[in-house]
Amino acid sequence: MDLPRSSRLEARLAVLSPTFTTAQARRATISPRDLADLASAGDVDEISRGVYRRVEAPATAHLDLLAVCLRAPRAVVCGESALAIHELIDDIPASVHIAIPRGTHRPSISYPPTTVTQYAAETFSLAIERFEAAPGERVPIYSAARSVVDAMRHRRRFGETLALAALGRYLRRKGASGTCQFDQGS
């Protein structure tokens, strides 16, 4: 006996992570028409072009990070976004800041607003951590130390005040040694 169409869609939707792309939905045999039906029925929300989130998924303050990192899977959260997540600045960035390796395709994302920076391919993968943007959903982000070093190196772009504030807050943290070491992890 065949399951009703809605039950089949719910079963297919259940195999996806709470936040997913159209391509991931297709691999789970959810057609674009079915995805549109799920969105119009209020079962999923489109949070960025081609990126959806199940409505029953746990709430998160980092929906914009999830959307951008799914649209640009090779990117790493950097700059003001990384500094804010590491609580090294009080500012709320106006856009999601991501880094990509120099010489690769530069993503064009209009929503959520995104700032893309290209980093040298040799240093791009230094000091990448995983940040839990929502329960069970992680995005790549540069470490606190790497973020401060980048802010100081690019303080003309970041602003001298922001870079020095991030450095000062990093150094005042309990256990900060004043030296920065990068792991070769990814």
Could you read off the pLDDT of 66-76 as tens digits, one per residue? 999 999 999 99
Classify 2 in phi/psi space as left (phi over 0), alpha (psi -120 to 50) or beta. Answer: beta
Structure tokens, 65 = 């990070």
Could you tell me the pLDDT band of residue 13, with boundaries at 50, 70 and 90?
confident
Nearest Cα to Cα of residue 115 among 150, 152, 76 = 76
14 pLDDT above the threshold of 70: yes
Could you tell me the pLDDT band of residue 149, with boundaries at 50, 70 and 90?
very high
Report the percent of the chain where pLDDT is more than 70: 89
122-139 confidence digits (pLDDT tens): 999 999 999 999 999 999
List the chain domain ranges.
5-54, 63-172
92-127 confidence digits (pLDDT tens): 899 999 999 998 989 989 899 999 999 999 999 999
Q: In this structure, are residues 82 and 99 in contact, taking their beta carbons and an 8 Å threshold?
A: no
Nearest Cα to Cα of residue 143 among 101, 93, 180, 90 = 180
23-42 confidence digits (pLDDT tens): 999 998 888 888 888 888 88
185 pLDDT above the threshold of 60: no
Read off the pTM.
0.82
Q: Burial of 137 by CB count in 10 Å (0-12 exposed, 13-18 middle, 19+ buried)?
A: buried
pLDDT score recorded for residue 153 = 92
Highest mean predicted confidence (pLDDT) among 4-13, 44-53, 176-185? 44-53
Q: Determine phi and psi for 116, rounding to 5 degrees.
A: -110, 130
pLDDT score recorded for residue 5 = 59
Q: Tell me how far CA of residue 64 lies from CA of 2, 103, 117, in angstroms.
A: 38, 25, 17
Q: Tell me how far CA of residue 48 lies from CA of 63, 113, 145, in angstroms.
A: 10, 10, 30
